[in-house]
Structure 1
Amino acid sequence: MLQPEVLSKELSIMPFFRLAFRPFFLLPVLLSILSLIVWLAVINGAITWKGGIAVNNWHGHEMVFGFAASIVIGFLLTAAQTWTGVRSIHGWNLALLVLCWLVARIAFISNSPAILIIGMIAQLIWWAVSVAYLSYMLIKSNNGRNLVFIPLLLLLATLNATMLYASITYNISFASHLAYLAVLMITAVVTILGGRVIPFFTTRALNLPAINAKLFLERFMAIVMALTIACFALSYWFNLSVVLPVLFLIAGACQIARMANWRTLSTLKTPLLWSLHFAYLNMGIGYVALGSSYYFNVISFSAALHIITVGTIGTMTLAMMSRVSLGHTARSLQSNGWVNLSFAVLLIATLLRFILPLFNLSSLGYLLAGIGWALGFGIFLIYYTPILLKARTDGRSG
């Protein structure tokens, strides 16, 4: 049996534990596929759910926090090493972080209150270590520009803890509201990251002049987004049905207007770029649809929200993971036909999830969108698992 010191050294050179993007891309993607299959099987009567958390709350939690937030953490802990020059979490420490994540995933399917509490503790430890390590890297390098992510992540962690408590105590409606709120919080992260990386990737890849942000629009959009998310949070207790839909519509219009000079049409021949652009566009469309849901009964809030969850968060994570997995393993930033297909399948899933419920075909929309998600991310697993399990092609660590 290996001694702890020897085991630590071995783990530090295992490719899978060299940087956070490797485990926190592969494992959340696998989780999203499995949890979606289970949820679809339960709501269609194929299996009986015996967990201690209501199945819809479990589905929402695992897709928002087990999947989306985990990939955000994996990306930030990886990108921060490039931003700061400080070595990110790796080796034994990263392995223990992954173990906390896995304990939480397993615990949340239990019906034992004690095990559910253990899962909650593991989830919060995962948050604490992740945010603390990211903060350490940014503060040590005096990287003030990216400190904005710390309060956003702390808010997400707080939402996660509160949602878990509500779920465990069977406060189903409040837990659902918190899941929706967490989705909107993730759009705030996407707004910051997308506004930085999408124009940069576009101009760099296509050798175009730099894209300059419109300062007034950026500030106005930030204010409107913050007000929208805050008002939605309060809408659980207060009737804000007059102001909230207007804020959703304005926020969506701002997101779409922001893209006006991003040269989206120039990216149509480059899947690793157009996928990012269309994912961001879906966020603007999703916010407009959320606002419209207050005025038109045919549009449900849930269907509108899934333009964001599938079309923005799903497509954005798929595109970013595809790009980062290639770049951080020193491979060429070129996708193949199968990867390109995965982007298209996810966009089709977005359309089906929103359009079919408009025609009272909600169940079919859930099923086809779920199949599309499983296919899109299944392609990612098949293509990228060997890459993420192998060392960089240039022999460097990471």
Structure 2
Amino acid sequence: MAGLWRAPHLPLFLLAAVWAALVPLVWLSPWACDPLAWHRQELVLGFAGAAMGGYLLSALPHWLKQAGGAGSVSPRATVFLVLAWLAGRLAGGACLPDGLALAGQALYPVGLALCLAVPVGRTGAWSRLPIALAPLGLLLVAFRLRLDGDGLTAVLVMALLVALVGGRIVPAFLAARAGSRASRPPLPRGGRLADLVTALALALHLGGAPEVWTGVTLLTAAPAQALRMLRWPLAPALRPRQGDLLLLLAAWLWLPLGLALVGAALAGLSPLPVPAALHALTMGLMGGMILAVMARSWMIRAPGRLQVGRVTAAAFLLVQLAAALRLALADPLLPLLAWSAGWALAILESARAIRRPVPHPVLSARRSLTGTAPPS
């Protein structure tokens, strides 16, 4: 198992896939004190938290290199993070008092933030500090879920993180495949405005504003998030054998769709219940984007592109199908089975990746055999 600790994304992406496959099955065989609360918290804190760590720790060496530094997280630190993640899962599932449960759940987000922020500060890469501290947003999710049962906050926090991070990396991957040499293309004003409106919807909800206000704000954010794509270099995704880019775009489209569905439900403009609408942002956006990004670590490298294998394509299609079925069907059984089947295939690919050489860069295709990689 020594190969598991060669790179932090190997154990964390594997844990994310395993947890994504298992969490929905709590509905089939409930064991937690509160199955609904456990389902909500583990989809975000467990599944998305592990995937967030895998991505950010993979991006860290690139950040440090840009700042004139070097290095990455040590295997010992990775082991600590995995143990902290496991402690959080045990604390969240056990029938513990709120204080003890929250303390256990805080170990992983705080540890991950420290593993990112300390080297960022040491090398002076201050522009990366906000994203290095992003794992602390999981603490807000943990408190709201544990103390208030507030699933909407959890979903909106994760949607905002996808908008902030995905809104940079997706066009960056597209630009790199298009041959752009910009290391960090500036975020267009439309993108900043879209993220600001999305953040405003979260702030209104946290401030106790009427649901209709949050809903109308989300309905405003939805087209803003869609229109920002007009500034993206979409042509590379339409070329033959560029499936890795198509996965990212397909996942991203759930952001404006999900914001619109949740906004309409909150504003009373849709017959779709709010809990069902939220699955567009959890299963569709969060699940799709996480799988599209983490799959890049195990895709076969070819000059200037990443090859999407059949297993990965089937896994992604099952996750997307699960999200669509969850919106269309009242019975959640079939969507949950499709979701778990898709992530079971992702477990298979994650396990295979442990036995292969770690690619460099982990999440990017080089522009050419001797070219440089796009920003992480």
Same fold (TM over 0.5): yes
Equivalent position of 1:74 in the other structure: 54
Asked if the contact 1:248/1:290 (under 8 Å) is kept, the reply is yes
Distance 1:255 1:378 in 2: 31
Equivalent position of 1:171 in the other structure: none
Is there any run of 5+ residues in structure 2 with no aligned partner, and where?
A: 363-376
1:101 maps onto 2:99 in alignment: no
Residue number among 131, 138, 141 corresponding to 2:120 in the alignment: 138
Amino acid at match of 1:286: G
Moved more, 263-272 or 220-229: 263-272
1:80-114 per-residue CA deviation (whole Å, 9 max, x = no partner) reads 12211342322222212211211222343333x36
Question: SS of the residue aligned with 1:58?
Answer: helix
**Number of residue pairs matched by the alignment:** 352
Q: CA 1:292 to 1:58, structure 2 compared with 1: closer, same or farther past 3 Å?
A: same
Amino acid at match of 2:173: F
Equivalent position of 1:110 in the other structure: 94
Asked if the contact 1:81/1:88 (under 8 Å) is kept, the reply is yes
Q: What displacement does 1:227 show?
A: 0.9
Equivalent position of 1:60 in the other structure: 40
1:355-382 per-residue CA deviation (whole Å, 9 max, x = no partner) reads 22xxxxx11xx12221221121111111
Residue number among 11, 24, 37 corresponding to 1:36 in the alignment: 24
Asked if the contact 1:15/1:391 (under 8 Å) is kept, the reply is no
Q: CA 1:332 to 1:255, structure 2 compared with 1: closer, same or farther past 3 Å?
A: closer
1:342 maps onto 2:322 in alignment: no
Distance 1:248 1:77 in 2: 31
1:16 maps onto 2:4 in alignment: yes
1:53-73 per-residue CA deviation (whole Å, 9 max, x = no partner) reads x11000000001100122112
Equivalent position of 1:239 in the other structure: 210
Distance 2:199 2:313 in 1: 34
Equivalent position of 1:149 in the other structure: 131
1:184 maps onto 2:145 in alignment: no
Equivalent position of 1:370 in the other structure: 336
Asked if the contact 2:91/2:104 (under 8 Å) is kept, the reply is no
Residue number among 195, 216, 219 corresponding to 1:249 in the alignment: 219
Distance 2:7 2:300 in 1: 13
Q: What displacement does 1:385 show?
A: 0.8
Q: CA 1:58 to 1:346, structure 2 compared with 1: closer, same or farther past 3 Å?
A: same
Is there any run of 5+ residues in structure 1 with no aligned partner, and where?
A: 1-10, 42-46, 167-173, 357-361
Asked if the contact 1:198/1:276 (under 8 Å) is kept, the reply is yes
Question: SS of the residue aligned with 1:333?
Answer: strand
Give the TM-score taking structure 1 as reference length. 0.80
Equivalent position of 2:279 in the other structure: 306
Q: What displacement does 1:331 show?
A: 12
Q: What displacement does 1:23 show?
A: 1.2
Distance 1:214 1:98 in 2: 33
Equivalent position of 2:32 in the other structure: 51
Question: SS of the residue aligned with 1:51?
Answer: coil
Distance 1:118 1:295 in 2: 38
1:231-282 per-residue CA deviation (whole Å, 9 max, x = no partner) reads 12223xx4242x2222101111110001123244652442211111111111
Amino acid at match of 1:105: R
Equivalent position of 2:237 in the other structure: 267
Give the TM-score taking structure 2 as reference length. 0.85
Amino acid at match of 1:248: L
Equivalent position of 2:109 in the other structure: 127
Distance 1:307 1:205 in 2: 29
Amino acid at match of 2:346: F
Equivalent position of 1:83 in the other structure: 63
Q: What displacement does 1:117 show?
A: 5.7
Distance 1:216 1:331 in 2: 29
Asked if the contact 1:65/1:160 (under 8 Å) is kept, the reply is yes
Q: What displacement does 1:213 show?
A: 6.1
Amino acid at match of 2:225: Q
Question: SS of the residue aligned with 1:252?
Answer: helix
Q: What displacement does 1:296 show?
A: 2.9
Question: SS of the residue aligned with 2:306?
Answer: coil
Q: CA 1:121 to 1:205, structure 2 compared with 1: closer, same or farther past 3 Å?
A: same
Asked if the contact 2:299/2:309 (under 8 Å) is kept, the reply is no
Amino acid at match of 2:36: N
1:26 maps onto 2:6 in alignment: no
1:199 maps onto 2:198 in alignment: no
Q: CA 1:69 to 1:33, structure 2 compared with 1: closer, same or farther past 3 Å?
A: same
How high is the sequence identity, in percent, across the aligned residues? Answer: 24
Asked if the contact 1:29/1:377 (under 8 Å) is kept, the reply is yes
Distance 1:314 1:307 in 2: 10
Asked if the contact 1:149/1:189 (under 8 Å) is kept, the reply is no
Equivalent position of 1:44 in the other structure: none
